[in-house]
Structure 1
Amino acid sequence: MHALVVVAHPDPASLSQAVTQALAEGVSSAGHSVEIADLAKEAFDPRFSLSDLAVHRREIAQPADIAFEQARIDRADALVLVYPVYWWSMPALMKGWIERVFANGWAYDEGADQKTVKKLGHLPIHLVGIGGATMRTYERHGYLSAMKTQIEHGIFGYCGAPVVTSELLLPVPEMSEHLDTARALGSKVFEAANEAAVAA
């Protein structure tokens, strides 16, 4: 099976990038193939433009850069997103990637009758956020539940894509612990997806 791991962090020496590499190692160690989409390194343009709006309205076809990203996802049996938590959500780069790539007609169908058809029920999602605050802070202010509502339900629930894993890696005495966690997550990406399919 094949996993697509998408990361949004501009610093190749960041913890987000290290977690991405470790997670990919875990996928490979379990005998699966993996591709890393490094949005910053690849200079993905996250700006939702007039042409994106025209795509949403079904007036024009997907531009080449978006068709390329959609094809990457179509090849994958699981999608993993790794991102630092900025302002209690994912970075604008990753949010813009979702806004442009998860388009009407591909991720969902919004018909004239106002009924939405979810089109990504076949795609297991794994979320790995990397935060700088304590869990007490996330829980006390409701940030954790807000992130789950916005990202898990608001984005992936809308498209029908099941969120199988949702991890929040917070500060620990030895950050290398997070790399071990990431490898373990990677090795179980498809194990978790199979369990979710059986449960459904």
Structure 2
Amino acid sequence: MHTLIVTSHPDPDGLTHAVARRIADGIAETADATIELADLTAEGFDPRFTQDDLKGHHRQAPFPADVLAEQARLDRADALVLVFPVYWWSMPALMKGWIDRVFTGGWAYDDSSGQGVLKKLGHLPVHLVGLGGADERTWHKRGYTEAMKTQIDTGIFDYCGAPVLSSTLLLETDAGDAQTHLQTAHALGQRIAITPGAAAH
């Protein structure tokens, strides 16, 4: 099983990246596992949806080379894990821009037939890990948990047919109890490695 773990945070020594590494450690305990860690910040991915992206969307020109490279990286993966800090009750702009540009019509979905949406990523199980500073009471009080699931799990991945097999929130990350979150991340990696559907192709 080959897992692609994508992160978006400017501090390589911060908790977001530490959580991603612990997830990778948990997955790596499986004998046949391979892992690729993609740090969108360090790699300098450009999240801006440009005229060239729009031309690709309208089938007027090929998609930009960096988009095609990311799609090829996803095509090699048996599972996708997104690890991100929660900014304003969603993912950071860099990660959202990665999705905006990479999950293109014709590759992630196809709505050009007039017969509804063809979901093309049913072979790619997804695991979401968000790190938030607020406590659980705040999340439930305002309905943020369900709002994020509606926006990300359903609005993005279900639209493309990619099954979200787990959606984890690590909360109160500013409280200094990083060890608990790292233990949770390691256990999540172990579960990802043995989850049915995590090696669907």
The TM-score, its normalising length taken from structure 2, stands at: 0.94
Dislocated runs of 4+, deviation >3 Å: 193-197
**Aligned counterparts of 2:20 and 2:138: Cα–Cα separation in 1:** 25
Alignment of 1:170-189 (within 5 A): 170-171=171-172, 174-189=177-192
Tell me, what secondary structure is at the counterpart of 1:59?
A: coil
Partner AA of 1:82 in structure 2? V
Q: Give 1:43 deviation, angstroms.
A: 0.5
Cα distance per residue 1:160-199 (max 9 Å; x no partner)? 00000100001266211111111111122132234898xx
Tell me, what secondary structure is at the counterpart of 1:127?
A: strand
Alignment of 1:109-120 (within 5 A): 109-113=110-114, 115-120=116-121
- Between stretches 173-182 and 27-36, larger displacement belongs to 173-182
Alignment of 1:47-86 (within 5 A): 47-86=48-87
**Aligned counterparts of 2:145 and 2:79: Cα–Cα separation in 1:** 23
1:10 maps onto 2:13 in alignment: no
**Aligned counterparts of 2:46 and 2:198: Cα–Cα separation in 1:** 35
**Aligned counterparts of 1:80 and 1:136: Cα–Cα separation in 2:** 26
- Between stretches 180-189 and 151-160, larger displacement belongs to 180-189
**Aligned counterparts of 1:119 and 1:132: Cα–Cα separation in 2:** 34
Is the alpha carbon distance of 1:195 and 1:14 closer, same or farther for their aligned partners in structure 2, counting shifts above 3 Å? closer
Tell me, what secondary structure is at the counterpart of 1:167?
A: strand
Tell me, what secondary structure is at the counterpart of 2:89?
A: coil
Q: Give 1:42 deviation, angstroms.
A: 0.3
Residue number in structure 2 paired with 1:28: 28
Partner AA of 1:56 in structure 2? H
Is the alpha carbon distance of 1:63 and 1:145 closer, same or farther for their aligned partners in structure 2, counting shifts above 3 Å? same
Cα distance per residue 1:89-120 (max 9 Å; x no partner)? 00000000000000000000111416210000
Computed over aligned residues only, the root mean square deviation of the Cα atoms, in angstroms, reads: 1.6
Tell me, what secondary structure is at the counterpart of 2:41?
A: coil
Tell me the matched-pair count: 197
Identity %: 57
**Aligned counterparts of 1:87 and 1:114: Cα–Cα separation in 2:** 36
Is the alpha carbon distance of 1:17 and 1:72 closer, same or farther for their aligned partners in structure 2, counting shifts above 3 Å? same
**Aligned counterparts of 1:87 and 1:35: Cα–Cα separation in 2:** 28
**Aligned counterparts of 2:21 and 2:68: Cα–Cα separation in 1:** 25
- Between stretches 182-191 and 143-152, larger displacement belongs to 182-191
Unaligned runs of 5+ in 1: none
1:155 maps onto 2:173 in alignment: no
**Aligned counterparts of 1:196 and 1:168: Cα–Cα separation in 2:** 24
Contact 1:78 1:190 in 2 (8 A): no
Alignment of 1:70-109 (within 5 A): 70-109=71-110
The TM-score, its normalising length taken from structure 1, stands at: 0.94
**Aligned counterparts of 1:193 and 1:72: Cα–Cα separation in 2:** 22
Alignment of 1:119-138 (within 5 A): 119-138=120-139
**Aligned counterparts of 1:23 and 1:146: Cα–Cα separation in 2:** 25
Unaligned runs of 5+ in 2: none
**Aligned counterparts of 2:189 and 2:55: Cα–Cα separation in 1:** 37
**Aligned counterparts of 1:90 and 1:173: Cα–Cα separation in 2:** 21
**Aligned counterparts of 2:159 and 2:198: Cα–Cα separation in 1:** 22
